[in-house]
């Protein structure tokens, strides 16, 4: 039965069974070599993919490190600027508080002087002569 199947293969010319077997064995050997070459090619492609993946991961890690360094530097600069602004604001607040204190002192002096002048005008006869 196997011989009949082999005989009915693609060749239309009748060959003897040993010749057909030899031809098929040669084809099988060729296929084995092709499979062997394909396996080697697959290994090579796998190696290249792995190497490329490793290089990409290394670049990502490097980029991540650079980004972290830049963010940390920016954060430090922002913190320093914030501290400088805070110091300037505190200085301005102290200066304004000093000026307000001076103005309040003058206000109370003027109010006190006005009370004294009002008292004197109301209780002394000298000023009452000019008012009447």
Higher pLDDT, 78 or 117: 78
Cα separation of 18 and 86, whole Å?
100
Higher pLDDT, 72 or 14: 72
Cα separation of 117 and 56, whole Å?
89
Cα separation of 75 and 81, whole Å?
10
- % of the chain residues with pLDDT over 70: 83
Question: CA angle at residue 13 from 10 to 15, to 5 degrees?
Answer: 95
Domain residue ranges in the chain: 2-98
Higher pLDDT, 119 or 75: 75
Q: Average pLDDT, whole number, for the chain?
A: 87
pLDDT at 127 over 80: no
> How many whole angstroms from its chain centre is CA 92?
36
17-75 residue pLDDT tens: 888 998 999 999 999 999 999 999 999 999 999 999 999 999 999 999 999 999 999 99
According to the model, what pLDDT value does residue 31 have? 93
Instruction: Grade residue 132 by pLDDT with cuts at 50, 70 and 90.
Output: low
Contacts of residue 17, Cβ cutoff 8 Å, sequence gap at least 6: 3, 6, 7
């Amino acid at each position: 039965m196997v011989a009949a199947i082999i005989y009915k293969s693609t060749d239309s010319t009748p060959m003897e069974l040993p010749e057909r077997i030899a031809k098929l064995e040669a084809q099988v050997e060729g296929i084995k070599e092709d499979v062997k070459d394909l396996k080697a090619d697959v290994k090579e492609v796998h190696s290249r993919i792995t190497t490329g993946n490793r290089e990409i991961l290394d670049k990502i890690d490097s980029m991540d490190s650079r980004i972290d360094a830049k963010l940390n530097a920016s954060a430090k600069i922002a913190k320093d600027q914030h501290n400088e602004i805070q110091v300037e604001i505190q200085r301005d607040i102290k200066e304004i508080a000093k000026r307000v204190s001076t103005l309040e002192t003058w206000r109370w002096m003027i109010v006190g002087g006005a009370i004294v002048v009002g008292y004197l005008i109301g209780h002394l006869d000298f000023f009452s002569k000019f008012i009447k």
